[in-house]
Structure 1
């Protein structure tokens, strides 16, 4: 193959599982008349390249979701007590440092990425009059997506998929 020729990228099992997880989230949320955005984001973050330990990586994501949500809720409330933009930015800094510290302290460094996403969603998108309900809904939505990804990771593990394809006759 020359430099000018391009290969068509192959879709791996993780890509297929991500597509299935996010689509399943969208279907469920559309059926219950809710916006699937945050569940789909949770599904993407919940999908792991190494599915030998799907519950470990899933628990990292769930812990991160909970930490980010509650830190975001508390600091959002405090942030709204001030009109000073510098103080508001300081709460963003303090919150992400706390999230990183607590995640590492609890032994869940893998929780930082998902926790940061939920933290910033809550801190930067929460309507002022809906702090608690908005934050809890974002935590639930993200957790649903993560749980669906864990389920898809388990059901569609390489081991399970190789058994399925081995039993298909030509």
Structure 2
């Protein structure tokens, strides 16, 4: 559907559906949906093939970002939430993640890894346990899998 320069396309509808499904299911499990919704938005592409290819990169980048956010959490806890950990260690982790993904030729996953690393690391509530961080890492995977499933069953058929 198009109105002048503005277009409502299938990808937009699929993205909204992914967000709706995540918010609804997370509501029933009493989980915050933010990380999963954002992961789904990042992963959802215009076609099944593109989503599947990008999902591989997303899963790898989410894993890298998640592992480094876990490392950040452990150091932050061990230093009794010292401010320097956020000011110095987190930017160093950003550098390491970018260099690693670039070195393995996963440049298209850098933004996703940064989103996972920073969203998880900078939103850890006071008194959180390691389970909180692991739950947010799992949330990123839930978002990517939701995008894959939606695109698998709701993609335009190719003309034969």
**TM-score, with normalisation over the residues of structure 1?**
0.79
Answer with 62-71 or 77-86: which moved more. 77-86
1:94-132 per-residue CA deviation (whole Å, 9 max, x = no partner) reads 111111111122332222111111111222111354342
> What is the rounded CA distance, in whole Å, between the counterparts of 1:158 and 1:70 in structure 2?
36
Q: CA 1:134/1:159 → structure 2, altered by over 3 Å: closer, same or farther?
A: same
Larger Rg: 1
Q: Which runs of 5+ in 1 are unaligned?
A: 1-5, 164-170
Does residue 98 (structure 1) correspond to residue 104 (structure 2)? The answer is no
Secondary structure of 2:49's aligned partner: coil
Q: CA 1:124/1:106 → structure 2, altered by over 3 Å: closer, same or farther?
A: same
> What is the rounded CA distance, in whole Å, between the counterparts of 1:34 and 1:72 in structure 2?
19
> What is the rounded CA distance, in whole Å, between the counterparts of 2:48 and 2:27 in structure 1?
28
Matches within 5 A, 1:117-128: 117-128=115-126
Q: CA 1:102/1:87 → structure 2, altered by over 3 Å: closer, same or farther?
A: same
Does residue 74 (structure 1) correspond to residue 38 (structure 2)? The answer is no
Secondary structure of 1:70's aligned partner: helix
> What is the rounded CA distance, in whole Å, between the counterparts of 2:117 and 2:111 in structure 1?
10
Partner of 2:37: 40
Partner of 1:52: 49
Do 1:99 and 1:115's aligned partners in 2 also have CA atoms closer than 8 Å? yes
Q: What's the C-alpha RMSD, in Å, of the aligned pairs?
A: 2.4
Partner of 2:157: 159
**TM-score, with normalisation over the residues of structure 2?**
0.84
> What is the rounded CA distance, in whole Å, between the counterparts of 2:127 and 2:60 in structure 1?
26
Partner of 2:132: 134
